[in-house]
Each structure stands twice: as structure tokens, then as C-alpha cells.
Chain A
Amino acid sequence: MPDVIKVGVVAYDPKVVTIWEGIKDYFTANRIAMDFVLFSNYDAQVDALLDGWIDIAWNTNLAYVKVHRRTDGRCGVLAMRDTDVGFTSKIIAGAETGIESIRDLKGKRFALGSRDSGQAAILPAYFLKQNGIDPAKDLTTIRFDLDVGKHGDTGTSEVEVLNAVTTGEAHAGAIGDQYWARALAENVVHSSKVRPIWTSPGYCHCNFTVRAKEDEQRFTRWTDVLLAMDYNKPADRKIMDMEGLKRWIRPQMDGYRALFEAVDDLQFFN
């Protein structure tokens, strides 16, 4: 391992600094020298990983796919959050639109999140196509291209999609299930105006990406210490609540297949 392990993190919100100062303290307490490097967008972070400026990148699924492509599949993955597995996208529809299934979407106004958001744009568009609706031909799409470069991390575009469907600006739209579950729990969903009609197959979201498979071994100790973080310990809980997980887990790589297919199908990197 290098003297100080450098982890790249995209600063999508000021709280990222608080979270990562906490994680750094946690590693220090476990006698691992770690520091974090902030990036304003995932493209810059991916470049920095490939150039060796950082050792580990805390990547979205889209950033991971990009690294995978650029390393010809030689990159490795160390860990992910429990909440990064079984992630889904939802299609929500206005309650009065009569839309009950994907078929009913034809010819409708459809809201999508930021163009680089896996959960609110890329994967929903791909899944719709798989189910016989080509967004380019069959829908009038309304795109909320907010915070581009941050791969939908800020969630602002999903807020706009929910608003658009609630107000009727769009007949239906796509959002990630994490935002949907939060919106339900936080009492911001009007059940008389909007309801979910479809849930995508599960896929994986973020992970800690390393340049090469061999690095998975090089960073074993870092990964083991990360995985030992305990939600039932107050200090750990503070960090985990902010980062949105209850447990760090080993990577589950089959959850990325859909996104690989989606970026090919949509020719996203071309």
C-alpha cells in the first residue's frame, strides 16, 4: 500500500467534506493513513484515477463503467454500500392520466433527470426501449439536465421530475427508488396526484473502483477496515447516516450489466 492512500470523491454537496473527514478519522483510528481528494465532476475523477493521482475512486455506476471501458475491464472494485445493491428506477405517473403500464406511455410527455444520471435518465431510457417504448420516437421527453457531471448525485433533477409529474407538466417520469423512498418517508409525495406504475430490475449503484484487479489485494486492509464500520456504534452511525448506508459490503458485480448494455445501446460515451 502507498504511505497515504488517496481516495477520490466528487463534492456534490458541502456535506461530502464532513462525511470524508469522518471516514478519514475512522481510518486514522484504525492506523491506516488515508486522505481524500475532492473533484467537481466524475470525468475529472476518472482521469485522476487512470493517471495514478488517486488510488481509489468513490464512483457512481456510470463512472465505474467508464473506468471499465478505459481499462479494457482490468479495473477492480473494493466495496460498496448495502444501498448500492438492488437499486431500481421507478416510473411514476400522474394519478389522473390513466397511465397504468409502460404501454400507455406512448405519445405522452415524459420527464427524465440529468442526462448523466444512471437512475433517472440512462437506465430508464434503456429499460423503456427494452419494453417497446423508444424515448426518441415514442415520447415527448422533458429533460432536467441539472448538475451535469455529478451523475445525478445531487438528486435535484429527480426533485424536478417528481414536481413535473405532480403538477401535470409531464404525464409520467423516471426517478431512482432511493429518492422515491425518501420522498415517501419525508411526506412530500401527494398520493392523489402521483403514483408508481413500474419498477425496473435491480442494478448496482456506487462502488470503490481501483485501476487494476491486483489492487483489490493491495488494498485488502483498507477494505477490511471499511467493512468493519458498525452502524450500531454512535460515531460510525453519524458517518453512515450521512453517506446513506447501514453496512459496507463486498462488491456484487453482476449488478452493472444493465448499465453496460445501456451505454452501448445509447452510445453514451461516443
Chain B
Amino acid sequence: MTFNSSTSIDAQNLSAADGLLVLITRALDKLKPGEVLEIVSDNPSLEHDLPAWSRLMAHRWLGTIPKDGRRSHRIEKGSVLRVLIDRELDWGQRAGIKDGRFDTRDWLLGHAAQIRERAEPSDGFAPRGAAVERGSPDFSFDVLDRNQAWSESAAEFYEQATAGHWDGSRDIPWSALRPLDEELERAICQLMTFLAENEYSALYVPAKWIARIHPHFAETVLFLSTQVRDEARHIEVFVKRALANGGGLQFSSASTQASLKSLLDQEDFIQASFLLSVLGEGTFLDLLRYIEAHAPEPVTREIARRTRIDETRHVHFALDHIRHALRSDGTLKAKLHQAITDRASLLSGVKGLNPLVEESLVILAAGGLSSGRLPSGMKARRQLYETMHENRIRRLISIGFPDREAEDLSELHTPNFM
């Protein structure tokens, strides 16, 4: 009998139990059905082991012949696919590493660079670019459209976020806290309570969407996970500030809760992101700047400063994401308009901000409850509301709303800020 081997491996004395089957399997992977693998070996067990294994794996055992004082075993590769995939795997493309950095923006290589218009439910948790076996189960992700979930700059914002992470336990100068005037401390504690409850919504809303966005849009999911991490830190430092100086957590109002619940109840990703990040977190930027400007001590000041930097990133990500979505979906603008109107009517019972928070804003800016300084506090707060309104309009215009509409929409925004 003559054999026509396609490939030959020298297995020396390696036994089937000690890794030879892995060697053979990998060698067979490189062959086509019907091609023959020769295994040259000095191990006497193989003529018993390999026929049994070949039968189990549906390869054809061709037998053993002596060869130069050794044994030559032959296996013909069978026709069953070991893994049910329909394409070749990527190979041979190296990433561009610059100055020792592998930037996430540069990971668009091979199949990983192909962003589909609609993600495949059965790709599940496989990283984009992996070859997914046929028969994998459909996952129930419901944000599948590129237009909804993809953002060109998510990778860039993700890089910024990972570089900008800080530590709420150590990066705030906690030891600088001294006893404050009681009314001022109470106002700060009330503001911290209010900020913390808002931050919970800012954590839960993206967290809810992470679980619903298809992993094909990895950059968006990764960015949102940094946002969740940021908000966790914000909750941490706001609660800590309320507790740190002998005050404590203050009131949470029903109207604030109603406003925040309406964000979590949103069932459309873009609309949720628009209401939370463009309008809510956008408005918060001015609030945090106000707290930073009027903080009577370095702890509150540093907390406001650091959280504002994070929030700026959240707002810019959302602006960028929605600006792109608006460009490719002509019906989206009307939907966003409707989302604001719907939320406004849902919250029609919410006539204003939690009055204790409103007063606290005045007391903070006035530096306490002294009658001489209250007017300047009232003025500062009025100024804050105007700035919030102006900046909301500016942001709405920047994503493509006409001036007049932007102004109307800003007015419809919840008095709760978020």
C-alpha cells in the first residue's frame, strides 16, 4: 500500500495522553477533507490509540507501517467541520502602537473594523470581529441598529474617561474640612443629597442601556460603562460630603423622584440619552460650576470641580452621538421634540425644584443666612437659572434644532435640572 501524505509530523515519543492529540488536531485543522496526515513516532501505544481516536473524531484511519526503524501512522481527514463557521479567521494585521500606547481608536482591524448597519442577535457576547459558530443562541439585545448605537467618537471619549478616573476616597482633600456655620453646612448637606439622588439616575439609566445595546457596538458600551463608573464615584463623594462634617443626608422630594423616575422609564436609547445627558447633565454642568464658585471650603469645591469634568465628557459624548444620529435619521428630530413634550406633560404636577434645594442654592451663594448677604444669593441663583436656560438652548442648536424650537424645548425641560 502506498500513501500520499500531505503533511508529516514527527511526534518523537510523545504519547496520546500527553498532548499528541492536540498536536494532531492542530495539524489536521490545516488540511482539507481527504488529505492525509502522517505521524512518525517511536511510541508503541499509538497504533492502539490513534485508530480509536480517529473513529471517534470521524477521521479515516489508514494504518501503521514501519519507516526507518520507526512507525509511520496515517490519518485521512474526515469531512465534518470541527467548528461551524462560514469564513476565514483574520490573521496577519498588526495594530499601530504609538509611543507605547495602543489607543482604542486604532483597534479597527480586520473583521473588527466592520461595523454593520444592524447587529446580528446570535453574535451575542462574541467580540466584534470574532467568527461566531452557527447555531449560537439569539440574544435579546434590543438596540441593534448602527444608527441608534454607533458613535464615531465613542472610542476617543472612552480613552479620555479611562485616563481621567480618580479616587473619591483619596483625591478629595477630606482632611481640610472644618466645622462650618450651621445654616451653611445644612445647605451644603441638602445640595449633596439632591446631587446624589440625581447621580443615581445618571448611573442607572446608562446601566440599563448597557444591558440592551448589542456588544457589536462595543465602543458605545465601553464608554457607557465608564460613565456608570463615574456616576458611582459621584454618588460616593456627594454622600460622603453630606456625612463628613457633622451634618447628614437631608430631604429628597417627591417631585425630584418623579422627574428622575421618568428618565429611567424611557424605553428608547437615543431619547433617554437626549433627556439625561444633553438636557439633564448639560444643566448640571452649570449647577456644578455654581457650587464650585460659591463653595466655602476646598472639599466641596474640589468635589464640584472633579465631577464637572466627568460630566462634561458625558454631555459631549451624548451631543456627538445624537448629532450623528440626527444626520442619518430624518425623523429623529421630531421624535426628540416629542420626548421632551411627553415628559413635560407627564411631569405637569412638578411645579418647581425642591424648595429646600432652591433655598440652599441661595444660602450657599450668600455664605449663610445673614440678611445682608441674602440679596446677592438671590441674584446669583437667578443668574444660574438664566445661564442654564441659555446653555441648554446653545446645546440644542449645536445638534441641529432651529433657534426658536431650541428655546421652546429648553423651557419645557424639567425644573428639577436633571
By a beta-carbon cutoff of 8 Å, the part of chain A in contact with chain B is: 82-83, 86-88, 90, 177-178, 180-182, 184-185, 187, 189-191, 195-199, 231-235, 237-238, 246-247
| Complex Cα gap A129–B263 (Å) | 81
| Complex Cα gap A198–B18 (Å) | 20
Measured between beta carbons, the chain A residues less than 8 angstroms from B16 are 184, 189, 191
Measured between beta carbons, the chain A residues less than 8 angstroms from B53 are 181, 184-185
Instruction: Say if the beta carbon of B339 comes within 8 Å of chain A.
Output: no
With beta carbons under 8 angstroms apart, the residue of A86, A178, A199, A246 that contacts B78 is: A246
Most central of B45, B78, B133 by chain A CB within 10 Å = B45
Contact B58 A247 (CB under 8 A): yes
Q: A232-B80, A237-B135 are in contact. Are A180 and B52 (CB under 8 A)?
A: yes
Measured between beta carbons, the chain B residues less than 8 angstroms from A235 are 135
Q: A184-B21, A191-B17, A234-B135 are in contact. Are A199 and B56 (CB under 8 A)?
A: no
The interface size of chain B toward A, counting residues with CB under 8 Å, comes to 23
Residue of B with least CB distance to A193: B17
Give a binary string over B43-80; 1 marks a CB under 8 Å from any A CB, 0 the rest.
Answer: 01101110111011010000000000000000000101
With beta carbons under 8 angstroms apart, the residue of B52, B55, B78, B135 that contacts A238 is: B135
Give a binary string over B74-93; 1 marks a CB under 8 Å from any A CB, 0 the rest.
Answer: 00001011001000000000
Other contacts beyond A82-B58, A184-B49: 7, CB < 8 A: A87-B55, A90-B48, A187-B17, A191-B15, A195-B45, A233-B135, A246-B78
In the assembled complex, the CB of A241 is this many whole angstroms from the nearest CB of chain B, namely: 11
Contact A184 B58 (CB under 8 A): no
Instruction: Say if the beta carbon of B261 comes within 8 Å of chain A.
Output: no
In the assembled complex, the CB of A79 is this many whole angstroms from the nearest CB of chain B, namely: 16
In the assembled complex, the CB of B29 is this many whole angstroms from the nearest CB of chain A, namely: 15
Instruction: Say if the beta carbon of B208 comes within 8 Å of chain A.
Output: no
Measured between beta carbons, the chain A residues less than 8 angstroms from B56 are 83, 178, 181-182, 185
With beta carbons under 8 angstroms apart, the residue of B15, B47, B51, B84 that contacts A237 is: B84
Measured between beta carbons, the chain B residues less than 8 angstroms from A195 are 15, 44-45
Measured between beta carbons, the chain B residues less than 8 angstroms from A238 are 135
Measured between beta carbons, the chain A residues less than 8 angstroms from B81 are 231-232
In the assembled complex, the CB of B253 is this many whole angstroms from the nearest CB of chain A, namely: 54
In the assembled complex, the CB of B133 is this many whole angstroms from the nearest CB of chain A, namely: 8
| Complex Cα gap A90–B47 (Å) | 11
Contact A185 B21 (CB under 8 A): yes
Contact B84 A90 (CB under 8 A): no
Work out how many contacts link A and B, with CB atoms closer than 8 A.
Answer: 74
Measured between beta carbons, the chain A residues less than 8 angstroms from B44 are 195
Contact A181 B135 (CB under 8 A): no
Instruction: Say if the beta carbon of B134 comes within 8 Å of chain A.
Output: yes
Residue of A with least CB distance to B22: A185
With beta carbons under 8 angstroms apart, the residue of A178, A196, A234 that contacts B49 is: A196
With beta carbons under 8 angstroms apart, the residue of B17, B47, B51, B80 that contacts A189 is: B17
| Complex Cα gap A187–B21 (Å) | 10
| Complex Cα gap A78–B18 (Å) | 39
| 14 interchain pairs, CB-CB under 8 A | A88-B51, A177-B51, A181-B53, A181-B55, A181-B56, A184-B17, A185-B21, A191-B45, A196-B48, A196-B49, A199-B52, A231-B81, A232-B80, A234-B133
Q: Which 5 A-B pairs have the closest CB atoms?
A: A234-B135, A196-B48, A177-B52, A189-B17, A246-B58
Measured between beta carbons, the chain B residues less than 8 angstroms from A181 are 49, 52-53, 55-56
Contact A196 B45 (CB under 8 A): yes
Contact A234 B84 (CB under 8 A): yes
| Complex Cα gap A198–B52 (Å) | 12
In the assembled complex, the CB of B125 is this many whole angstroms from the nearest CB of chain A, namely: 17
Interface residues of B in 1-48 (CB under 8 A from A): 15-18, 21, 44-45, 47-48
Measured between beta carbons, the chain B residues less than 8 angstroms from A237 are 84, 135
Give a binary string over B128-148; 1 marks a CB under 8 Å from any A CB, 0 the rest.
Answer: 000001110000000000000
In the assembled complex, the CB of A1 is this many whole angstroms from the nearest CB of chain B, namely: 30
| Complex Cα gap A83–B61 (Å) | 13
Measured between beta carbons, the chain B residues less than 8 angstroms from A82 are 58
In the assembled complex, the CB of B346 is this many whole angstroms from the nearest CB of chain A, namely: 46
| Complex Cα gap A185–B17 (Å) | 7
Residue of B with least CB distance to A87: B55
Most central of B52, B134, B135 by chain A CB within 10 Å = B52
| Complex Cα gap A197–B45 (Å) | 7
Measured between beta carbons, the chain A residues less than 8 angstroms from B55 are 83, 86-87, 177-178, 181
